[in-house]
Copies of this chain bind each other. A is one copy, B any other.
């Protein structure tokens, strides 16, 4: 394998890793230089400025995943339609410098039946294939928590279906912009007990639109302390996400991919609901890009 520079270029941050011939991580870098901070036409210059030294290695190959391949990014790499696996991603790489720098396309999932099943991802597909490699599986249910949480079905090494949940963004909107903002005290530490109360509440009958408002009255009537309410709200929203049918009976442990703080919460909630899971962090991205480079015989 040629030296691989693996890049995850997202909306708000830019992360890179220098990988050895066996996929081992030699060094990593992270910058607050997401695509929103890069003026049009300057992507090559930013990459060169921040990773140019790594790229000087003889035969270096650079694979870039994430929003850099979106319409607002370096160049649009059209979505690869599901079902899709390594082979399809490899065939759809968008070469910016032939043989040297390529964008990894995102995935799209276009349902025929309802309005609901249309969905897209960019960047997560690499983490998914990386986590499967690390777990030694070719079929799984995966969850990638975050601003826009993804639930993904993989069968025989191919993503067959996925759905995005606005969980993280709704949490942020509720705590920062809604009437709940006045009731929540965001300075407290994570409160596991309040979090699990929220998870329990989310599984009760009734609409989340009512349960969200009830967070305010819990505070007004001092049934929960203001510092515990953010954890309760978090449990309510994550629980609502987990309540959807797809999450009910995955055959294997669910594979979680994300940062420690978030995967901890999802692990607590899933275990509380009797669903086994296993977590992966940023290493899934590097493993995924390495596997893609290997499979594509770049």
Q: Which residue numbers of A lie inside 8 Å of B, CB to CB?
A: 110, 114-116, 118-120, 148-149, 163-167, 169-170, 173-174, 177-179, 197, 201, 204-214, 217-218, 220-221, 223-224, 237, 240-241, 243-245
Contact = CB atoms under 8 A, between A and B. Distances in A.
A67 to B, nearest CB: 12
Contacts of A149: 209
Contacts of A209: 149, 165-167, 170, 208, 237, 240-241
Given A116-B210, A165-B209, 20 more contacts: A110-B221, A116-B211, A118-B221, A120-B217, A164-B210, A164-B214, A165-B207, A165-B210, A166-B209, A166-B212, A167-B209, A177-B177, A205-B245, A206-B245, A207-B240, A207-B241, A207-B243, A208-B240, A209-B237, A209-B241
Nearest to A151: B210
Contact of A217 (B114, B118, B241, B243): B118
A-B interface, 7 closest residue pairs, ranked by CB to CB distance from nearest: A165-B209, A164-B213, A207-B244, A118-B217, A173-B173, A166-B213, A166-B212
Q: Is the interface of A mostly helix, strand, loop or mixed?
A: helix
**Protomer copies:** 2
Contact of A115 (B148, B177, B197, B243): B197
